[in-house]
Amino acid sequence: MQERGLMDKDNKRGGSGLDRRHLLQAGLAAAFAAPLGAFGAAQAFAPKAIAPGVDLSEFPLCRTASDAPALTGAPRKLKLSWNAGAVCLAPVPVAIEHGFFQKHNLDVELINYSGSTDQLLEAIATGKSDAGLGMALRWLKPLEQGFDVKIAAGTHGGCMRVLTRAGSGVDKLADLKGKIVAVGDLAGPDKNFFSIQLANLGIDPNKDVDWRAYPGNLLNVAVEKGEVQAFLSSDPLGYLWLKDSQYKEVASNLDGEYRDKSCCILGLRGSLVREEPQVARALTQALLDAAMFTAQNPAVTAKSFQPYAPKTASLDDIEGMVRYHTHHHHPVGEVLKRELKGYADDLKSVQVFKPSTDTAKFAERIYVDVFAV
């Protein structure tokens, strides 16, 4: 694999080329610091006029669903948990600012969540939140515990990367064998994902790679000091670090077959699905509409997300990330169930799931087709 920088990746995905410049580590880290509390303050937006029609010709999976009638009566109030610093969730502020929730007669309160996945799933299951967005490879293991949360859609692909210093000699994923790799979380989705990829190459990720935990904003410092040979990162930090020519990308979760799979998912409160299926459908559809809009309008989306982005990220940076992430890919129904089963099978291969887990039954239990109601 050749060294891959942002210029090459953006050109392949239709984004504009980016000037490489050194980012001040302290400023970047401070700008992307996570909220201290598990639930941050709710964020209020004044929606603009209802967005014009989205070009559904590129998204045949959702064309029929988008024609469902809006809910009647007073707007249904809902709470949606998200990580406000995750640029891959840019469709969320888009859905509010450009009226997609309003179009479906929803009054959505955003809750900026930064606690553990178990706490988030419990919050959704118990009604403290009605829905949440997160990464499949972080959610699936906790969902084995039986939380009353149903996965209604994938939302996009992309946003996880393996980075190293230019000239490090680590040029492809297989080169991580025998190396020390820094991660922000030893149980994180990026470690799970790249462990799966290493296993597919015949490399035992539990024995052949020395994973070391570091604070997420200091991962690059570990490689600069020579304490590790590579590190895992997600956007926006990963994308922004790649603007510095001393770093290069070794791999991402848009390589190979995973280019056409979603990494982030929408989970709904189980009782909402059972008791108010039309509300569950409306919320899911509003977010899919916003994702379609995001794919078709990356520059507009960048402006909507800018208040949440690191201050070191320019509008061009945000637009580049929006273009890089696959917001046009958001499976539902049987396609979603197949992807969930596939990820569960992958997690079995790296000993995250028990060998005895029936992944087909697991996927059937945790997913819901809200458009079948």
Q: How much is the pLDDT for 61?
A: 46
Residue 237, token pair as written in the block: 């930090």
What mean pLDDT do residues 136-158 have? 94
Report residue 222's pLDDT band, with 50, 70 and 90 as the boundaries: very high
- Identify the three-state secondary structure at position 65: helix
Helix spans in 32-99 (H): 91-97
pTM, two decimal places = 0.84
**Residue 34 pLDDT:** 38
The string of pLDDT tens digits covering residues 307-359 is 999 999 999 999 999 999 999 999 999 999 999 999 999 999 999 999 999 99
Nearest C-alpha neighbor of 242 from the set 223, 264, 261, 214: 223
Contact 327, 295 (CB under 8 A): yes
User: How many CB atoms neighbour CB 349 within 10 A?
Assistant: 14
CA distance 324 to 253: 11
Instruction: Give the least confident one: 70-79, 163-172, 297-306.
Output: 70-79
232 closest CA partner among 325, 170, 141, 304: 170
Nearest Cα residue to 264 out of 325, 347, 354: 325
**pLDDT at residue 159 tops 90:** no
Which of 1-10, 206-215, 277-286, 287-296 has the weakest average pLDDT?
A: 1-10
Residue 322 neighbours by CB under 8 Å, 6+ apart: 87, 90, 294, 298, 301, 302, 305
What letter represents residue 233's amino acid? S
| Lowest-confidence segment of 152-156, 183-187, 257-261, 333-337 by average pLDDT | 257-261
Residue 276 has pLDDT above 60, yes or no: yes
Highest mean pLDDT among 6-10, 253-257, 296-300: 296-300
**Burial (CB count within 10 angstroms: exposed 0-12, middle 13-18, buried 19+), residue 156:** buried
Amino acid at 205: P
**CA–CA dist 369, 373 (Å, integer):** 8
Percent of residues, the chain, with pLDDT higher than 70: 82
Strands 106-113 and 149-156: unpaired
| Pair of tokens at residue 149 | 């949360």
User: What are the two backbone dihedrals, phi and then psi, of residue 55, each rounded to the nearest 5 degrees?
Assistant: -75, 95
Is the pLDDT at 127 greater than 60? The verdict is yes
Lowest mean pLDDT of 44-53, 147-156, 288-297, name the range.
44-53
Q: How is residue 118 written in tokens? A: 């178990």
> Which position has the higher pLDDT, 162 or 19?
162
**Contact between residue 25 and residue 220 where contact means Cβ atoms under 8 Å apart:** yes
Q: Domains in the chain, ordered, with CATH?
A: 6-25+160-252 (3.40.190.10), 39-158+262-372 (3.40.190.10)
What's the pLDDT score for residue 35? 36
Whether the per-residue pLDDT at 174 is higher than 60: the answer is: yes
Give pLDDT, residue 113.
86
Residues 6+ apart with CB under 8 A from 147: 121, 122, 124, 125
**Is the pLDDT confidence value at 106 over 70?**
yes
Give the model confidence (pLDDT) of 43-67 as tens digits.
444 445 445 556 655 544 454 455 5
Task: Give the model's confidence band at 220: pLDDT under 50 very low, under 70 low, under 90 confident, else very high.
Answer: very high
Query: Distance between CA atoms of 124 and 270, rounded to whole angstroms?
Result: 8
- Residue 300 pLDDT exceeds 90: yes
Taking residues 152-180, report their average pLDDT.
95
Do residues 362 and 338 make contact, with C-beta atoms less than 8 angstroms apart? no
For the chain, the C-alpha Rg in angstroms (whole number) is 20
Q: Cβ(369)–Cβ(333) under 8 Å?
A: yes
Q: Give the per-residue pLDDT at 73.
A: 87
CA dihedral 94, 98, 104, 108 (to 10 degrees): 60
Report the chain's mean pLDDT, rounded to a whole number: 85
